[in-house]
Amino acid sequence: MEYRYRMQSLRTGWGIEAEPTLLGKKKLKEIRKRYKDKFKYCRIYLMQQLIPEHHSYLVPFRLTSRKDRLSH
């Protein structure tokens, strides 16, 4: 288990994680400005990643809990 900064949007279905430092948070802010289509509605927060090898740092990933995936 380790701490990471995470930025995700349930509206767009994308997320990304960074190292738990001020530089990591700064990189996420830059990514949010650069890729507004994926991360427009995101907030950045510190979280505990239970499975650290599941997502690499600064690699965007699709969320599995997006609303339209759950609808029938």
DSSP string, the chain: -EEEEEEEETTTTEEEEE-SSHHHHHHHHHHHHH-HHHHTT-EEEEEEESSGGGS-TT--EE-S--HHHH--
Mean pLDDT of 32-58: 90
Asked whether residue 64 is assigned to any structural domain, the reply reads no
Asked whether residue 12 is assigned to any structural domain, the reply reads yes
Range of the domain at 21: 2-56
Residues in the chain: 72
Mean pLDDT of 7-36: 93
Q: How far apart are CA 71 and CA 44, in angstroms?
A: 27
Asked whether residue 26 is assigned to any structural domain, the reply reads yes
Mean pLDDT of 32-41: 90
Asked whether residue 30 is assigned to any structural domain, the reply reads yes
Asked whether residue 8 is assigned to any structural domain, the reply reads yes
Confidence category of residue 67, pLDDT binned at 50, 70, 90? low
Is the whole model's pTM more than 0.85, yes or no? no
Count structural domains, the chain: 1
Mean pLDDT of 3-10: 92
Asked whether residue 63 is assigned to any structural domain, the reply reads no
pLDDT of residue 6: 95
Confidence category of residue 72, pLDDT binned at 50, 70, 90? very low
